[in-house]
Structure 1
């Protein structure tokens, strides 16, 4: 299974950046998000089709040290390096891409152009960082990009077609349906009905003429078989409906509802499988209400402290196995000093808990997934834990934080080849009580 580099990039283009870009460009967040969804596979596809160009490889190699990931909106959107790279991979097709994305996402051409630069910056920056972390040379980067040719053609969102732009072999001859997110041949390349033996008797092919009798048999036999199959299906459905009706309640409206549910199992399974969304609630901290999840970090910590189990713990060994994962505290990809939007609130909650229970001591732990160089992962997770420790000290509870450790991917469980969304479970910050 080849690495999908789009998973490496998505972390740079999360809700915080979408919100910031929408504000700066004067567009809706939904429009910005939709545009990014269309641009990302197009940019990766363009790089994949030019993976042997020295200019492309140089741009990616130098990106890891350029700081471009730290200033995507302010830097990448106006960088001449990015503009030159786009010209190298798309040539005179850039305006066509910009127009198509603007129309598709309902944003202005100026915003679409800026987003194209931004997404390209995030792409080369993320691939460059991955290459540096995994010691990939230019040949390795070229191979990594080449592997994406079989992936990107399926990733353009439904409703968007770039085939007419002719921006690469992966886009030629395909269209993308609104019905599903699958890639299908264009109408000009779909199999023609007239070449099958059952549709016409004209032509000069002797084999076809000799089999004309067999074809005419199928003309009436195939519809008959289809008719029989349809009749059987309808009979089964009627039988199922009858069975359901006899087991429902006496109330007629209830019977109709139950029957409908029975004959549409897809809807029933979908509703059953839908996970319950987490909703912020008031968590009682000795009369002070904190916003947090019921059963989340704050709720669990407060319950533990109120139970007296912390006071009764004989030593640190009795506490070391129970960690509380932050629900909201997340760092920007590759950073140990920049938090994602919405993270500060939970840090404030932790400060409030420690102030309410001044005898309590804690330890901070940082974790990463299995992707990348392990020495770098340990260093990054340690720096993140130290950042949180420093933030707590600044808030006045530093004496209650005994230690900050980074464990890298030591306790990661998800395969490094899994998707970015699946690996997110291993990338976390946690806290435990200590003595």
Structure 2
């Protein structure tokens, strides 16, 4: 069985380590765990890049750091001492080595990755910085303990690709970091300009028996009849449960039925979401969900996001998670007004922030129709925000159709619904 450095690294963060880090950094333990689960594959991706490029001058520094850290047989204990009490001081040698290692891996894009981890997990930027600085040498020491010599380290890191792909959180848009552009196909960001590819194995095309050769043909037709019956049952049930407007037959044939936001549309298949209060700078609070657009957007706007620069900012998108439309139209449903109101409040609380709105569909249907519908829905959100008095903070709205969809048209509805959403990008 191949070594999985992702899972081994996660195992270093025992409950005591996470608890100590939460108390020292003043963060929720769940957010600490979420940050760590994003940091580990990010660090491994940086190490993978060094392993995949023999001419990279930074490889020598990585080997040296791995050799120095490999002698540590109690990495959990080290992490606990570094992240608890006074150990988290910036002067801590372990953290200093970690910052040097991050600089070797990511260069001047380190701050961008730290900000993305902060926005994804909900921890402060300073906390994300400390956690990344503590994690990087621990992951490298783990690799050094599992391998023999520099050649063994590179071979081990190159074998981690599948593990890294499976562990990359979908909400962590590392594809927005120019340094990692050559790995864009590993990520699944929600917006342009990077074309996303699903980090999971694509749905394979089903191969059926050749009916000319006899045998199995009747099974195919029976299977198709069953699938048609299930599809009719599903869509009839959806219309009855969601009380949505009936779409003319020619409308459904023309474009993808982008009926709901990705997260909201799949809510019935997900665990119950945690309701939270998101506090704005003026002390007011918004009712929202942990990890929802309000939670992540406010955290991002409170960070030093402007340091990322326009080229990085335009690649970071936040998906609405409670925004629905009537089927086949750009009419926002009444129950979605709460999220529009929340976004309005956020913009008023951050008057210097400007947004762009993007609309997306899955790959089914006619693409010109998909682009048209997704654009109309993005503009509907822009109009709603303008009517609420914050239109000057919205730079524009654009529909991208299925251009950035991750899943093929033949994928299950539970997957394709993730490609149907409206998102916002902070532009300044």
TM-score (norm 2): 0.41
- If asked which structure has higher relative contact order (CA below 8 Å, sep 6+), I would say 2
Q: Return the index of the structure with the highest Cα Rg.
A: 1
TM-score (norm 1): 0.40
